[in-house]
Structure 1
Amino acid sequence: MATVASLSFCGVTQSPTERKICIPSSSRSILSDSYSIRVRTSFSFNPISFRASNRLVVHCMSTESSDIPPPVSETKLKFLNAYKRPIPSIYNTVLQELIVQQHLMKYKKTYRYDAVFALGFVTVYDQLMDGYPSEDDREAIFQAYVKALNEDPQQYRDDAQKLETWARAQNASSLIDFSSKTGEVEDMLKDIAERAGGNGSFSYSRFFAVGLFRLLELSNATDPTILEKLCAALNINKKSVDRDLDVYRNLLSKLVQAKELLKEYVEREKKKREERTEPRKANEAVKSCLAENLYTRM
């Protein structure tokens, strides 16, 4: 996986009734593509018409769109309601930023779930949450996150596992030659290539780029030309992939450094607590000794 270098996260406070999230405006999100969502509500009224019978007929019809996406706040609220325990700020800051960006991507008209995208997201999530205090909590957060986007977390895990197992059995040549083979994963890749080529809905994202990177990594396809050939086979713009992989590597680098700083801070605070405890223990020992001597004399 990519090597890891600085990340400054601001504090996050959470309470049962309110959670304040602070996201650095200067930080570059792994999914910081620019999207816009327009909400339009319109009503049309047919003119009032009179008939010979002197009856008044008024036609009023609402044409409000039924495919308006939910607001970002609704997705965030779903996540916070599904997982109510406090999340350390170093993890929560990035999680909250990612869920906002993925919400915007999910509700684009061209969005359609695919397995490479799922592999990319699972890879990013596992890297982000590496070292989380509780493994059970880490999975519970994953479930809450994906469900908040109205998607199936088990499908994400299953498809990511399928692609990882398949990629481990490939080499550089077989990886890019998927179109001439048959199989479940090969069919998934063919479908992506067809849609990305203009024969269906396809929305490229940075999670997709990370999914491609993971396939190359697992198949030991280290030659830089292999990524170019794989992008060509999938009808994906390689320049976009290169750019987004740089962002991904940069995120990992900053995240690892931030975790190191957090670890140092925790150890330093622990040492301070121990130093404050020593005099108290000594005093208690002295008091206990004096009490014993007093009892003996009596």
Structure 2
Amino acid sequence: MAALSSSPVAPCCVKGAVAAIRAMERTRTLRSSVWQMGCCPVEHLRCGGQVGVTAVTKRRGVVACAAAAASSTTDVPTVADTKLSFIKSYRKPIPSIYSNVIQELLVQQHLMRYNSTYVYDPIFALGFVTVYDQLMDGYPNDEDRDAIFKAYISALNEDPEQYRKDSKKLEEWAAAQSGSGIADFAGKDGEVEAALKDIAERAAGKEKFHYSRFFAIGLFRLLECAKASDPAVLETLSKALNVSKRSVDRDLDVYRNLLSKLAQGKELIKEYVDREKKKKAERDAAAANKSSAESVAKTEGSKPE
């Protein structure tokens, strides 16, 4: 944070400014260039080089300065904003057994998505698509499952079609590679190879690359498609992409445990779906019986005595 102006109001206003920033739920620290107060009179506070709101009180003036500074930066949605966007995009009720997992995933991915080092990449997309499809396997309605996916990705201000398209390209590309040859992308030309080279370059720089569990799962899916079961291939691929093999191993262990739990969960989901179908059939039968009874009663009532 840049030093405050030498004006006597500065020391007593720091606490108010910090409170204002926290209240706005910003996930990034405000840059000092837009936070700094100018040397203009106490009645006017300057934010980012522009005159701000007239200060009614010293504290309120700095709060206004912080608010103006925040609005001048790139707006980052809050978790609440992302969840609200999802709810607005998909208005149908989601069974709680799925809804709880989706909401938890959405919060986690929101934090990844708006990390300052995050840049979309197809391996991350493949990892998420893999997890989503496994979690939602057995969902009662295929169209609703696809609609939920679109609402979810759109709520993160990303393109659901790009996620699906890039994931399919990677799977098809990996399936065409030899087991060990999947890590030899650096010396080859092609759309997928170019994307992998870009990831490796950014991962080496550490500035525009955000490693996550979804990325590790994307790597695992690539190896599955290439039928590369040798652990050495994963090590070679991780090295070629400039990501930590240790981190990948750790996250894949978590993923394998998740798959085991998913297998058990699918049994519960099947029981849930069967139970809901039975309830629906009973409701439909009851409604049909009621309608039939009302029809008979109406017919009987219309007969002459």
Q: Does structure 1 residue 97 correspond to structure 2 residue 104?
A: yes
Whether the aligned pair in 1 keeps the contact of 2:27 and 2:78 (CA below 8 Å) is: no
Instruction: Give the length in aligned residue pairs.
Output: 238
Report the Cα distance in structure 2 between the residues aligned to 1:270 and 1:144, rounded to whole angstroms: 26
Per the TM alignment, residue 243 of structure 1 is displaced from its structure 2 partner at its CA by: 1.0
Where do 1:111-122 residues align within 5 Å?
111-122=118-129
Alpha-carbon separation, structure 2, partners of 1:149 and 1:272? 35
Query: Which letter does structure 1 place at the counterpart of 2:148?
Result: I
What is the rounded CA distance, in whole Å, between the counterparts of 2:110 and 2:279 in structure 1? 42
Q: Show CA shifts across 1:146-185 (max 9, x none).
A: 0000001111111111101101100122201110111110
**2: CA distance, partners of 1:86 / 1:249:** 30
- Gap regions ≥5 residues in structure 2: 1-25, 49-68, 290-305
Q: 1:181 to 1:270 in 2, by over 3 A?
A: closer
Is it true that 1:48 corresponds to 2:41 in the alignment? yes
Counterpart in the other structure of 1:62: 47
Deviations 1:55-90 (A, max 9, x none): xxx763223141342110000000011001011111
Aligned to 2:66: none
Residues 187, 200 of structure 1: CA spacing in aligned structure 2 closer, same or farther, 3 A cutoff?
farther
Q: 1:161 to 1:268 in 2, by over 3 A?
A: closer
Q: State the Cα deviation string for residues 105-126 of structure 1 (Å, max 9, x = none).
A: 1111100000111111111111
1:251 is the counterpart of 2:251: no
Q: What TM-score, normalized by structure 2, do the two folds share?
A: 0.71
2:41 partner letter: I
Whichever residue aligns with residue 103 of structure 1, its letter is: H
The answer to whether the 8 A contact 2:37-2:46 is kept is: yes
Q: Which residue of 2 aligns with 1:226?
A: 233
Counterpart in the other structure of 2:176: 169
SS of the equivalent of 1:60 reads strand
2:27 is the alignment partner of 1:37:
yes
Hey, which bits of structure 1, 4+ residues long, moved more than 4 A?
A: 38-41, 265-275
| Higher percent of residues as helix | 2
- The match for 1:84 is 91
Change in Cα spacing, 1:42 to 1:226, as seen in structure 2 (3 Å) is same
Identity %: 61
Structure 1 residues 70 and 265, CA, compared in 2 at 3 Å: closer, same or farther? closer
Alpha carbons 1:90, 1:259 under 8 Å: kept: no
CA distances 1:197-248 after superposition (whole Å, capped 9, x unpaired):
1175111011110110000000000001110110011111011111111222
Q: Normalising by structure 1, what TM-score?
A: 0.72
Cα-Cα RMSD: 2.8
Aligned counterpart in structure 2 of residue 216 of structure 1, from 209, 214, 223: 223
C-alpha deviation, 1:257, in angstroms: 1.2
* Cα distance change of structure 1 residues 270 and 169 upon mapping to structure 2, 3 Å threshold: closer
Is 2:153 aligned against 1:156?
Answer: no
Quote the residue 1:22 is aligned against.
none
Q: Which moved more, 1:183-192 or 1:40-49?
A: 40-49
Distance change (3 Å), C-alpha of 1:183 and 1:200? farther
Structure 2 distance, partners of 1:214, 1:93, is 25
1:237 and 2:237 matched: no
Counting only pairs closer than 5 Å after superposition, residues 133-152 of structure 1 correspond to structure 2 as 133-152=140-159
In structure 2, relative to structure 1, the CA distance for the partners of 1:98 and 1:174 (3 Å cut) is: same
